[in-house]
Amino acid sequence: MDRSLEFGAFMEKFLLNPPPSSSPQNLLLNGLTFAAKDIFDVEGYVTGFGNPDWARTHPAATSTAPTVLAVLTAGATCVGKTVMDEMAYSINGENVHYGTPINPCAPDRVPGGSSSGSAVAVAAKLVDFSLGTDTGGSVRVPAAYCGILGFRPSHAVVSRAGVIPMAQSFDTVGWFARDPVILKRVGRVLLQLPDVDPVRPSHVIIPDDCFQLLNTQSNRVTEIVIKSVEKLFGSQVVKHANLGEYVGDRVPSLEHFMDKGNEHQGYIPSLIALSAAMRSLQRFEFKNNHGEWVTTVNPQLGPGISERVWEAVRTTDENIETCHLVKSELCGALNALLEDFGVLVIPTVPGPPPKLQTKGCSLETFRVRAFSLLSISGVSGICQVSIPLGTYDNLPVAVSLLAKHGADGFLLNLVETLYGTLTEQDEVANKSGC
């Protein structure tokens, strides 16, 4: 098929059918199609990791990743592997070697990475759902940019076997869908969850400081969410908070990463420190995983990626123990804040997707704000779902819901319950010109 008709989403097309079943109609994913990011092993195919030098220097996989096998066994059909950012080290979705998948929501904008092709395949309706990975934001960002649902599960609850590691302290297997029902079905398979009745959230926290990081329309987004929650659960569950202050008070180890030079005035200091800790540990683990290969092969890497990869290769183990302390302190603090059935609402990203081939220096402010938000669940390991909220100025808008570590089933049920009301409120906001 003409690559342009497939939005440049696929690295290669093939067909993996589900194994025979005596009662296929009872399978959760029966009849659905999916694609997998080129970071998942599929027996007989080289796992390319977004880079031709990696593909050239690695043999074909001898087994298939358990997550891919799980959705196949649940009745889904795999139609191919999708394009990704090189070595999973970007949130843009631009790949100089294989081309940048076209964002169906905004063709002149980046699709988001590193699971770019997986998000585009779902947004363009080429598949029913897709698999990606999320280390620093690689499912949440492309979901937001492409106007679809994206789920990052609690850390370490979905198998990462047969998936090339980027940084194990943050790596998760996530997934995309256009429909909350399918999103939940995939989650039930990967998380091995029974079908349980939805539970009402005990409290829904709106951190006003986080919404101030939005480039535009922060009031519109919070209003849509609050009205939806109030309509379904009553106004008493909505709480406002200052998340930056809470994190600063409850995560003492962040002091080591605070910006002493005030370079980031106008941002949220504790969340800037959080993203600094995340990047430090990410670089260290990336070096341990791939530093030897990088220095031996000296691969061709695209702009932005090359600088990040070589910075990681040159990193030291300074502050690594403190990074792990930050992780455990933050997880404890957020689990205490959310309790069993609380929800935290934040912008997924600080604004619409940047234009294609925007220079890195002009994206710096956006990236700082983005990683302030993305590091909340990234560092703590709690679960997060990005939900599309229509468009503003013809560009996609998204919001995220977060729940405590292990509350993935609760969160998937909540998305299904809230989704229709959020869509209605978005339409009301559009008609009123908000």
Instruction: Write the DSSP string, 219-242.
Output: HHHHHHHHHHHHHHH-GGGEEEE-
- Token pair of 336 as six digits: 């205490």
Query: Taking a C-beta distance cutoff of 8 angstroms, is the pair 364, 228 a contact?
Result: no
Q: How far apart are CA 266 and CA 92, in angstroms?
A: 24
State the alpha helices, DSSP H only, in 152-268.
Answer: 180-191, 208-211, 218-233, 243-250
Q: How far apart are CA 282 and CA 288, in angstroms?
A: 10
Instruction: Write the DSSP string, 27-86.
Output: STTTT-EEEEETTB--TTS---TT-HHHHHTSPPPSS--HHHHHHHHTT-EEEEEE---G
Q: How far apart are CA 434 and CA 426, in angstroms?
A: 10
What is the C-alpha end-to-end distance of the chain, expressed in Å? 42
- Token pair of 305 as six digits: 């990626």
- Token pair of 169 as six digits: 């302290």
- Token pair of 72 as six digits: 């196949």
Q: How far apart are CA 272 and CA 188, in angstroms?
A: 34
- Catalytic, out of 90, 114, 154, 280: 114
Q: How far apart are CA 176 and CA 399, in angstroms?
A: 15
Q: Which residues pair with 398 in a beta bridge?
A: 388
- Catalytic, out of 115, 138, 154, 375: 138
Residue 114 annotated in active site:
yes
Query: Taking a C-beta distance cutoff of 8 angstroms, is the pair 252, 325 a contact?
Result: no
Query: Taking a C-beta distance cutoff of 8 angstroms, is the pair 254, 277 a contact?
Result: yes
- Helices (H) and strands (E) in the chain — how many of each? 13, 11
- Token pair of 141 as six digits: 């960002």
Query: Taking a C-beta distance cutoff of 8 angstroms, is the pair 277, 322 a contact?
Result: yes
Query: Taking a C-beta distance cutoff of 8 angstroms, is the pair 211, 220 a contact?
Result: no
Place of tokens 């940048």: 100
Q: How far apart are CA 294 and CA 429, in angstroms?
A: 50
Q: How far apart are CA 73 and CA 80, in angstroms?
A: 16
Active site residues: 37, 114, 138
